[in-house]
Amino acid sequence: MTEPLQVDAASPRTYEVKTYGCQMNVHDSERLGGLLIDAGYVPVAEGEQADVVVFNTCAVRENADNKLYGNLGHLAPVKAQRPGMQIAVGGCMAQKDRDTVVKKAPWVDVVFGTHNIGSLPALLERARVQEEAQVEILESLEVFPSTLPTKRDSAYAAWVSISVGCNNTCTFCIVPSLRGKEKDRRPGEILAEIEALVAEGVSEVTLLGQNVNAYGVEFGDRQAFSKLLRACGEIEGLERVRFTSPHPAEFTDDVIEAMAETPNVMPSLHMPLQSGSSRLLKEMRRSYRQQKFLDIIAKVKAAIPDAAITTDIIVGFPGETEEDFLETLAVVEQSRFSGAFTFQYSKRPGTPAADLPSVDPALIADRYQRLTALQTRIGLEENQAQEGRTLEVMVAAGEGRRDDSTGRMSGRAPDNRLVHFNGVVPSALDDGRGALRPGDMVTVTITRGAPHYLEADGDILALRRTKSGDAWDRRNGAPAEVTPGVGLGMPSIGVPAPLPPVTGCS
């Protein structure tokens, strides 16, 4: 019989956060990491087993349940051999399933919801002392997450939440019931966080919200989002601003004007379509119809000719006919998306659409293949149209899965297209500072467009070292640093950490 592994009580306990789902979850996981570091935990070394494993879950897809419980099952024997190991489950699945998590996986120590991520360290300690599972699910947000400490994953790019929750009632979506009604941060708080990030070396921010362009509804300013974009343009050192995800029903002309007129707001837009059929959009309660969507696309392209537009599309929503699907194909053809996230409809218990008659799975699979084939062709054509263009690319970390084998590096163009480029610094540009760092800027000429990325195989034409690259250098190999939350006049958890010298659904 294998002897249980003993946890060294003298060493700091290690943690790992496993994240599933949307960008909001990714950012929440940065908060969870910051909270655990603030409480004395340290990130686990690569290849090692953590003392505390946190699952930050998603509930949007039907297979999310199976994925979570499968992963928990794999950890059960590991935990049995490691006295003192703890497992926590948070996020949307925890908010939905609540006590069910512990019933199905009694070896789980902590279950916490979307509204109380700040409680994790206290719940872990309570579970350890009381030697029983702790389940805490709040029904509404008590403290905006940005008041919490944050372990930023990147030294050069950062997520910034401007709102949480959603006031829409899309019939296929479970998110509003799990994230709650929209809560908006005040503009001054958002801008203060961005300015602090830029001071630390960040040069790109992505504004986050479940319905990001509805920002301001809570304090009654319908143009608050466009004003926020313009205010971001006044922040010195902030080179790139992006946002996700907007809702077509509330995407107004003042936002398009702000995008076009604010130089650091990038020419990229994610505009969820979901269906091209006005009949189905009504069934989905999407509050816009086909023509309104196409009008938005046309206005964006007229104001920002180089804009790359991506989308979300659901195939097989209940009641979808062949005629409905053909309308979706027609909108895709006309919109010329640079990319699309396509999904086969997934029934979520508790949503109105879950009670509607299902479409034949074979039909859904066939339509899905036809849609992806069409979008792959369009994506290829749109990317081939980029050939010969000279673009400034922000060097990224971990974007190219084959960079090591090809000798290339990867980064993002202003329109957010992924670019794989020759990463060798020409002797004429060699400044003696070594290899390119994530966050540095290179100017390259696109030599080939593929369906999902661009290639630039010629020499780098220009190199601009950045504060973000310097931040990457300082962070590389250094202990994990935590960015304090932006204070809202409310008490925070633990002792606030000092500012580090530099860190990086609609």
The whole-number pLDDT of residue 500 equals: 33
DSSP string, 409-472: EEEE-TT--EEEEE-PPPGGG--SS-S--TT-EEEEE--EE-SS-EEE-S---EEE--HHHHHH
Across 218-233, average pLDDT: 96
- Final residue belonging to a domain, choices 91, 109, 136: 136
- Asked if residue 486 is part of any domain, the answer here is no
Q: Are residues 174 and 309 in the same domain?
A: yes
Q: Is 92 annotated as a binding residue?
A: yes
Locate 252 and state its tokens: 């107004």
- Asked if residue 4 is part of any domain, the answer here is no
**Pairwise pLDDT comparison (50 vs 10), residue with the higher score:** 50
Around Cβ 55, how many Cβ atoms within 10 Å?
A: 25
Q: Contact at 8 Å (CB) between 28 and 100? A: no
**CATH number of the domain bearing residue 117:** 3.40.50.12160
Q: Is 58 annotated as a binding residue?
A: yes
State pLDDT tens for residues 335-372. Answer: 999 999 999 998 888 899 999 999 999 999 999 999 99
CA distance 285 to 247: 12
Across 59-76, average pLDDT: 84
Q: How far, in Å, are 262, 278, 385, 396, 494 from residue 416 at the CA level? A: 17, 29, 15, 11, 38
CA distance 5 to 79: 10
Locate 267 and state its tokens: 């020419």
Q: With bands split at pLDDT 50, 70 and 90, how would you rate the model's confidence at 174? A: confident
Across 431-458, average pLDDT: 96
In the predicted structure, residue 479 carries a pLDDT above the cut 90: no
Across 216-225, average pLDDT: 93
- Asked if residue 506 is part of any domain, the answer here is no
**Where is average pLDDT lowest: 99-108, 318-327, 450-459?**
99-108
Q: Are residues 333 and 394 in the same domain?
A: no
Q: Are residues 173 and 30 in the same domain?
A: no
- Asked if residue 371 is part of any domain, the answer here is yes
In the predicted structure, residue 4 carries a pLDDT above the cut 90: no
pLDDT over 70 for what percent of the chain?
90
Q: Are residues 394 and 258 in the same domain?
A: no
Q: Contact at 8 Å (CB) between 190 and 180? A: no
Locate 506 and state its tokens: 């609609």
The whole-number pLDDT of residue 487 equals: 40
How many Å from the N-terminal Cα to the C-terminal Cα in the chain? 51
The whole-number pLDDT of residue 10 equals: 61
- Asked if residue 502 is part of any domain, the answer here is no
**Where is average pLDDT lowest: 128-142, 152-166, 316-330?**
128-142
CA distance 144 to 495: 18
Q: How far, in Å, are 20, 208, 487 from residue 26 at the CA level? A: 8, 11, 21
10 Å CB burial of residue 286 (0-12, 13-18, 19+) is buried
The whole-number pLDDT of residue 21 equals: 80
The whole-number pLDDT of residue 383 equals: 98
**Which residues, including other chains, have CB under 8 Å from residue 311's CB and lie 6 or more apart?**
270, 271, 272, 273, 335, 337, 339, 340, 341
**CATH number of the domain bearing residue 186:** 3.80.30.20
Q: Are residues 27 and 111 in the same domain?
A: yes
- Asked if residue 374 is part of any domain, the answer here is yes
Contacts of 410-414 with C-beta under 8 Å, sequence gap 24+, read: 411/442, 413/454, 414/240, 414/266, 414/267, 414/268, 414/306
**CATH number of the domain bearing residue 455:** 2.40.50.140
The CA dihedral of 234, 219, 267, 304, to the nearest 10 degrees, is -100
Side-chain half-sphere of 472: how many Cα atoms within 13 Å?
18
**Which residues, including other chains, have CB under 8 Å from residue 115's CB and lie 6 or more apart?**
95, 137, 138, 139, 140, 141, 142, 180
Residue-averaged pLDDT of the chain: 89
Q: Are residues 42 and 88 in the same domain?
A: yes
Q: Is 232 annotated as a binding residue?
A: no
Q: Is 170 annotated as a binding residue?
A: yes
**Pairwise pLDDT comparison (149 vs 183), residue with the higher score:** 183
Rounded to the nearest 10 degrees, the angle between the axes of helix 120-130 and helix 23-38 is: 60
State pLDDT tens for residues 257-295. Answer: 999 999 999 999 999 999 999 999 999 999 999 999 999
Q: For the chain, what is the domain count? A: 3
- Asked if residue 204 is part of any domain, the answer here is yes
The residue among 401, 391, 437 whose CA lies nearest residue 154 is: 437
Q: Are residues 106 and 56 in the same domain?
A: yes
Maximum separation of any 2 CA atoms in the chain, in Å: 70
CA distance 413 to 397: 14
Give me the residues paired with residue 247 across strands.
none
CA distance 504 to 468: 7
Q: With bands split at pLDDT 50, 70 and 90, how would you rate the model's confidence at 326? A: very high
Phi then psi for residue 262, to 5 deg, are -105, 110
In the predicted structure, residue 493 carries a pLDDT above the cut 80: no
In the predicted structure, residue 491 carries a pLDDT above the cut 50: no
In the predicted structure, residue 503 carries a pLDDT above the cut 70: no
Q: Are residues 105 and 217 in the same domain?
A: no
**Which residues, including other chains, have CB under 8 Å from residue 210's CB and lie 6 or more apart?**
24, 163, 164, 165, 166, 175, 176, 179, 182, 245, 505, 506
**Where is average pLDDT lowest: 2-11, 72-81, 115-124, 230-239?**
2-11
Q: Are residues 47 and 131 in the same domain?
A: yes
Q: Are residues 25 and 111 in the same domain?
A: yes
Q: Are residues 132 and 230 in the same domain?
A: no
Q: Contact at 8 Å (CB) between 120 and 35? A: yes
Across 203-227, average pLDDT: 94
In the predicted structure, residue 189 carries a pLDDT above the cut 90: yes
Q: Contact at 8 Å (CB) between 18 and 54? A: yes
**Where is average pLDDT lowest: 22-31, 186-195, 299-308, 310-319?**
22-31
- Asked if residue 1 is part of any domain, the answer here is no
Across 86-106, average pLDDT: 91
Residue 182 has what DSSP assignment?
-
Could you list the residue range(s) of the whole structural domain that residue 46 is in? 14-136
